Structure 1
Amino acid sequence: MFEGIAVHQWLCWGTLYLLAAGVALSSETRWLCPKSCRCNTVLLEVNCSDGQLTTVPNGLPQNPKLLNLTHNKIKTLVHQQFLTLTQLLDLDLSDNIIVIIEVEAFLGLQSLITLRLARNHLKIIPVGVFAGLPKLKLLDISSNEILVFLDFTFRDLTALQFIIAADNDLVFISHQAFTGLTSLQELRLDGCNLTAVPTEALTQLGSLTSLHFYRMGITTLPNYSFRHLERLKELLISHCRWLENLSGNSLFGLNLTSLTIRHCNLSVVPYISLHHLVYLVYLDLSFNPITYIHENLFGDLLRLQELHLVGGSLLRIEIGAFKGLAHFKLLNVSRNFLTTLEVGAFHSVDALRTLGLDNNPLACDCRLLWVVQRRLYLDFGGNPPTCATSVQLQGWYFLDFTEAELPGLLTCRQPSILNPKPQEVRVDQGQTVVFYCNAEGDPLPSVTWISPQLKPLSPIGRIRALSNGSLEVRYAQPQDSGAYLCVASNAAGNDSLLVSIHVRAFPSSSKKPFHLKGWFAFPSASPGMNGNQNIALDVKTLLVAATIGLISFFSSVSVCFVFMFFWSKSKGQIKHTATIAYVPRSAVSSSNGGKGNYMETSRFTMKLI
């Protein structure tokens, strides 16, 4: 019985195999697969890769969906090369030595969706090459030697959504190069020789949502570099090793949700350029020499959830650095120079889910206690942080400590000022004074100086707080007098020291001055000067002024008399006479209707007739 069933099953499977073989043979006969190619009638695929082909083979089947011509030696694509392949969806010509593509080379590929020309030797793409591709959605021309995109290069690709043009030698992109790309969503450019963002060309891409730049030779990102790209959501700038800063309005007009600026030369976080990106969720500034994340400068990025700053030069993340970021979930600051990360840096650690803190020289003290307490809720990406600067715990994974061990291991010691006695100094005006405020504690406390006006003193200026914790008052002035407060603080508390300085003003002059009172008036006197103002003049100044005045007076009178003498001797019947009158000084005269008093000096008057 069982033998009969087995024979019956064998006959059924044999019949099905023969039918399948017949279908395959008839299909193979109908396709007539070219030499050096392999045809799959089920997948409707023609695979001619690694066939040592120098041209596109003749006699290709007319109805394949996929044509693979990779890893050959094809050098030229001629006019209407694929005219009969009207059903083709995917054409891959990567890894050849293509140098020339003639105009309308792809004409007839009316159903083509994907075209790959990567890793060839193209230097330029003539206008009209992509004619006849109404449904093309993806174009890969990466890893060629393209130098320039000409005007209207892509004008026939109205359905194109993705252009991959990375690893080329672009030096120029014409202003109208992207005209016609009304559906383009993603553009990947590598312009190692581009020295500016092709702003004018990008304005043609109103539907663009993702833009990638690699290896551009720019030092700064100018204002309004991406204007008219209102739909852009993702911007990636990478390996621009000379890019040092972003202008304040460089990202103006964008509504980004993701921004990546990696492997560049930014030394500070570009807060001003970022502040208007209120929809930003993802920010990556990795592999930049950024040293500080300052407090209260991320507050405008209300929706920010992830910040990556791997492989930088971070020395400190200040208290309040992420204040206002209520949705902050991920912070990755691996491979930096951080000695700690305090809980006060976050708006709320309850929202934090992932923390990358490995490969930092961490000091395991009370400032990192919160990390251990939340270790069950945090993902460290498989790289837990270790102690580096603590002698007792060096090299330990402090996350492995038990709750009983923590109080004795992760500790801090309150600051203590070594010279706690109040200091009082009296100096003369112009001298320089230095106050010392040395403090110890674990961790090492920071020192802040407070002025008599209760304002923190900066490291610059005539009165400055030095990096060693001292206070320097240079060229002391009387207004510098007062009490200054030194505050040493760390995570465990603070200590303070009060110092005071009294600056004596310069002594008054030993020469006894003359005091000229109300009889001497000054027309240009300052608003606060009146008739009773005392003016101090020494003897030397008074003599010089009197001498100059007398010389000027006698010179003017002499000139007048000489003039009158020669005028009176002139010929003619008319007799000329001259009258000279002396008007003595009047004590007080009234003017402006008696409302104002002024002093009038003596004078000579002369009348010639």
Structure 2
Amino acid sequence: MLICALFCSALQAGGKMFTERVAQLGAWGVLLLWATCVSAANPPWPCPKVCECRQATLQVNCSGKYLTAVPEGFSRDSKCLDLSHNRLKTLSRRQFYGLTKLVELDLSDNSVSMIEVEAFQGLQNLRILKIKRNRLKIIPVGVFAGLSNLRYLDMSENEILVFLDYAFREMVNLLQLNAGENDLVFISQRAFVGLQNLQELNMDRSNLTSIPTEALSQLQSLTRLCLQRLSISMLPNNAFRRLQHLRSLKIMHWPSLQTLSSNTLTGLNLTSLVITNCNLTTIPYATLRHLAYLRYLDLSFNPITSIQGNMLSDLLRLQELHLSGGNLLRIEPGAFRGLVHFRLLNVSSNQLTSLEESAFHSVGNLQILRLDGNPLACDCRLLWVMRRRVRLNFDSHQPTCSTPLIVRKRKFQDFTEAELPGIFMCRQARILDRKSQDAQIQEGATILFDCKADGYPSPYVTWLSTQQTLLTSSGRIRVLVNGSLEVRYAQVQDSGTYMCLATNAAGNDSIFVKLQVQGIPRNRTMSSGEVWSETPYSPSDNSSTQGTNPYPFDAKTLVIATTMGFLSFLSSVAICFVFMFVWSQSQGQIKHTATIDFVPRSSVGGGGVGGDTGRFTMKLI
């Protein structure tokens, strides 16, 4: 300090005196004096011995030092403190009190199982707090007291079981909360009270069995919600009510999710929706219909088999659809009709054999098309893709042909323009056997009408009923797998003209067959006893036809039935007498006779009033 004072006084004296001092000390002496003065003016920045401190950036790095307690001696000017990868187990009350300028605190990868109330008190300027990969099981109310300016909180990969009421009450300016990969089984209805500015919430891989609708309804500023790896099998109606600002919803890896209720997303104005790695077998058209602002839709890795025509037209602003890794067999014509902004389709790794131009509202708007990983049939249906293959972006994944064999595994980019007419062609559907199949059968019989067709690609065979409605593979009148039409147990009303239609991309062909069903004639005869009877048909006749007969039994059948009934009555009476005999023997009272009175019906069919009473006398031996 004395040398520094002399040097400073020399500077102040100036002139000849300063020149003489410099000459005496030399150049190295001057530098030494200057460094001494600087050190005296700026004392060393305080830093714990086990840590590394950088005064220029105000960072303190204590990561990976095997610390079992938070060290002391930090500078009050510190802005970033890294205590990750240590052995900390407990954070005491006001553990970091005094670090008022701290902006970021990292406590990740420790063994913290207990955080006392007000542990972060005094960190009023803290913006980022990371406590992931610890052993926290519960967050007591008041732990986050004093963190009113926190923006980002990462508490993922802990063992937290429940979020209690008002657990985050102090964090009024929090924007992002990552609570994924915990053991959450319950979230209290008021757990998120106070998070009025939260914009992004991530809850992955927990044990929740239902959507915490009431708790989420407190987050009215939420714009992004990510829910991954949950064991929820159904999304109920109004599952995300009051989240009017929600724009992005991600539902990923829910293997039990099979259905979405029609009003699950009611009230939301989503622009991005991701439902992937679930068990949806169909696109939830009813759930999506009101999402007029949706631009991005991802339904990949679901066992969805088709995209139906004219069912997505309500999604007026849709730009991208991803449905890769599914079981898609067909994209119907008009599937994307009305989607004037549609520019990207990703249907890679499915079972598609083709994609027709008629599926799109306008292929001129399409910019990116992913068809790779499908067993594509390179015929006229894909000619529109080939003609646009230069300016159409396949996202660095070139589609390849699966059929015909001569071009199998060839990439689309490898074809020349001259090859296209000879390879990418179709042969119009044609019904092979056009001979007349008009038939006239009796009611109750069964008949088959054949309809075999040929063409390339293989034609799709359908049948239309006499009322021009499409027949299916179920019911009494049904279409078989081989394209034949089966009419079982024919009825008179089945009479009429049926049409078989064979269709493929190159055209269609049709035939008509006429069926005439004759009703079964009924031969009625009058017996002497005024009983109607009819001549029965052979057992081969349809049982449903016989069921319409108003007199199902003839006279002979009635006599047999009456006799059998009388014999059953006598058998019952005999059993009763045997029982009486045994009982009287045991009582010592033997009755040798019994009298049974009966009242016969009158010949006119009246009751027993005024009629004669007959009497049977039976002896017990």
TM-score range, shorter chain: 0.7 to 0.9
Q: Which amino acid aligns with 1:249?
A: N
Secondary structure at 1:434 match in 2: strand
Partner in structure 1 of residue 580 of structure 2? none
Partner in structure 2 of residue 225 of structure 1? 239
Q: Separation in 1 of the partners of 2:305 and 2:37?
A: 72
Structure 2 residue 368 is the aligned partner of structure 1 residue 354: yes
Q: CA deviation at 1:235?
A: 0.5
Structure 2 residue 420 is the aligned partner of structure 1 residue 366: no
Q: CA deviation at 1:460?
A: 2.0
Partner in structure 1 of residue 605 of structure 2? 551
Q: 1:261·1:284 contact (CA, 8 Å) conserved in 2?
A: yes
Q: Which residues of 2 match residues 393-472 of structure 1 at below 5 A?
A: 393-472=407-486
Q: Separation in 2 of the partners of 1:197 and 1:549?
A: 78
Q: 1:211·1:234 contact (CA, 8 Å) conserved in 2?
A: yes
Q: 1:513·1:539 contact (CA, 8 Å) conserved in 2?
A: no
Flag the 1:15–1:300 CA change in 2: closer, same or farther, 3 A: farther
Q: 2:131·2:155 contact (CA, 8 Å) conserved in 1?
A: yes
Structure 2 residue 198 is the aligned partner of structure 1 residue 184: yes
Equivalent pairs counted in the alignment come to: 523
Partner in structure 2 of residue 519 of structure 1? none
Q: CA deviation at 1:538?
A: 12
Structure 2 residue 59 is the aligned partner of structure 1 residue 45: yes
Q: Which amino acid aligns with 1:551?
A: G
Partner in structure 2 of residue 147 of structure 1? 161
Q: Which amino acid aligns with 1:75?
A: K
Q: Which amino acid aligns with 1:400?
A: D
Partner in structure 1 of residue 229 of structure 2? 215
Partner in structure 2 of residue 321 of structure 1? 335
Q: CA deviation at 1:244?
A: 1.0
Structure 2 residue 364 is the aligned partner of structure 1 residue 310: no
Q: Which amino acid aligns with 2:56?
A: V
Q: 1:156·1:180 contact (CA, 8 Å) conserved in 2?
A: yes
Partner in structure 2 of residue 261 of structure 1? 275
Q: Separation in 1 of the partners of 2:466 and 2:115?
A: 78
Q: Separation in 2 of the partners of 1:286 and 1:67?
A: 41
Flag the 1:539–1:85 CA change in 2: closer, same or farther, 3 A: closer
Structure 2 residue 75 is the aligned partner of structure 1 residue 61: yes
Flag the 1:67–1:249 CA change in 2: closer, same or farther, 3 A: same
Q: CA deviation at 1:163?
A: 0.2
Q: Which residues of 2 match residues 190-201 of structure 1 at below 5 A?
A: 190-201=204-215
Flag the 1:310–1:19 CA change in 2: closer, same or farther, 3 A: farther
Q: Which amino acid aligns with 2:193?
A: T
Q: CA deviation at 1:225?
A: 0.7
Q: 1:171·1:191 contact (CA, 8 Å) conserved in 2?
A: no
Partner in structure 1 of residue 285 of structure 2? 271
Deviation string 1:585-608 (CA, Å, 9 cap, x unpaired) is xxxxxxxxxxxxxxxxxxxxxxxx
Q: Separation in 2 of the partners of 1:238 and 1:19?
A: 64
Q: 1:238·1:263 contact (CA, 8 Å) conserved in 2?
A: yes
Deviation string 1:169-222 (CA, Å, 9 cap, x unpaired) is 111111111011111111000243110001111111111111110111111111
Partner in structure 2 of residue 591 of structure 1? none
Q: Which residues of 2 match residues 576-591 of structure 1 at below 5 A?
A: none
Flag the 1:89–1:536 CA change in 2: closer, same or farther, 3 A: closer
Flag the 1:246–1:25 CA change in 2: closer, same or farther, 3 A: farther
Flag the 1:353–1:23 CA change in 2: closer, same or farther, 3 A: farther
Q: CA deviation at 1:312?
A: 1.0
Partner in structure 1 of residue 18 of structure 2? none
Q: CA deviation at 1:404?
A: 1.5
Partner in structure 1 of residue 125 of structure 2? 111
Q: Which amino acid aligns with 1:46?
A: V
Q: 2:128·2:152 contact (CA, 8 Å) conserved in 1?
A: yes
Flag the 1:210–1:52 CA change in 2: closer, same or farther, 3 A: same
Q: CA deviation at 1:316?
A: 1.1
Structure 2 residue 135 is the aligned partner of structure 1 residue 81: no
Q: 1:308·1:333 contact (CA, 8 Å) conserved in 2?
A: yes
| Range with greater deviation from structure 2 (419-428 or 353-362) | 419-428
Flag the 1:204–1:393 CA change in 2: closer, same or farther, 3 A: same
Q: Separation in 2 of the partners of 1:441 and 1:211?
A: 50
Partner in structure 2 of residue 96 of structure 1? 110
| Range with greater deviation from structure 2 (29-38 or 275-284) | 29-38
Q: Which residues of 2 match residues 585-600 of structure 1 at below 5 A?
A: none
| Range with greater deviation from structure 2 (37-46 or 152-161) | 37-46
Partner in structure 1 of residue 300 of structure 2? 286
Q: Separation in 2 of the partners of 1:331 and 1:455?
A: 33
Partner in structure 2 of residue 485 of structure 1? 499
Q: CA deviation at 1:128?
A: 0.4
Q: Which amino acid aligns with 1:55?
A: A
Partner in structure 2 of residue 600 of structure 1? none
Q: 1:116·1:140 contact (CA, 8 Å) conserved in 2?
A: yes
Q: Separation in 2 of the partners of 1:509 and 1:324?
A: 63
Q: Separation in 1 of the partners of 2:379 and 2:78?
A: 68
Q: Separation in 2 of the partners of 1:25 and 1:427?
A: 118
Q: Separation in 2 of the partners of 1:377 and 1:253?
A: 40
Q: Which amino acid aligns with 2:420?
A: L
Q: Separation in 1 of the partners of 2:372 and 2:328?
A: 13
Partner in structure 2 of residue 175 of structure 1? 189
Q: Separation in 1 of the partners of 2:198 and 2:345?
A: 33
Flag the 1:160–1:18 CA change in 2: closer, same or farther, 3 A: farther
Q: CA deviation at 1:35?
A: 1.2
Q: 2:369·2:392 contact (CA, 8 Å) conserved in 1?
A: yes
Flag the 1:201–1:484 CA change in 2: closer, same or farther, 3 A: same
Q: Separation in 2 of the partners of 1:539 and 1:266?
A: 59
Secondary structure at 1:85 match in 2: coil
Q: Separation in 2 of the partners of 1:448 and 1:456?
A: 7
Q: CA deviation at 1:377?
A: 2.5
Flag the 1:18–1:309 CA change in 2: closer, same or farther, 3 A: farther
Deviation string 1:222-259 (CA, Å, 9 cap, x unpaired) is 11111111111110011111111111111111111110
TM-score, with length taken from structure 1: 0.81
Partner in structure 1 of residue 595 of structure 2? none
Q: Separation in 2 of the partners of 1:448 and 1:364?
A: 24
Percent of residue pairs bearing the same amino acid type:
55
Q: CA deviation at 1:448?
A: 1.0
Q: 1:422·1:497 contact (CA, 8 Å) conserved in 2?
A: no
Q: Separation in 2 of the partners of 1:302 and 1:196?
A: 31
Q: Which amino acid aligns with 1:388?
A: S
Partner in structure 2 of residue 572 of structure 1? none
Q: Which amino acid aligns with 1:61?
A: S
Q: 1:513·1:538 contact (CA, 8 Å) conserved in 2?
A: no
Secondary structure at 1:264 match in 2: coil
Q: CA deviation at 1:291?
A: 1.1
Q: Separation in 1 of the partners of 2:117 and 2:432?
A: 84
Flag the 1:26–1:271 CA change in 2: closer, same or farther, 3 A: farther
Deviation string 1:272-326 (CA, Å, 9 cap, x unpaired) is 1111111111101111111111111111111111111111111111111111111
Q: Which amino acid aligns with 1:264?
A: C
Q: CA deviation at 1:442?
A: 0.9
Deviation string 1:44-84 (CA, Å, 9 cap, x unpaired) is 11111112211111011101111111111111111000110
Flag the 1:368–1:165 CA change in 2: closer, same or farther, 3 A: same
Q: 1:150·1:176 contact (CA, 8 Å) conserved in 2?
A: yes
Secondary structure at 1:392 match in 2: helix
Q: Separation in 1 of the partners of 2:39 and 2:332?
A: 71
Q: Which amino acid aligns with 2:187?
A: I
Q: Separation in 2 of the partners of 1:471 and 1:17?
A: 107
Q: CA deviation at 1:418?
A: 1.7
Q: Which amino acid aligns with 2:516?
A: H
Q: 1:302·1:325 contact (CA, 8 Å) conserved in 2?
A: yes
Flag the 1:288–1:18 CA change in 2: closer, same or farther, 3 A: farther
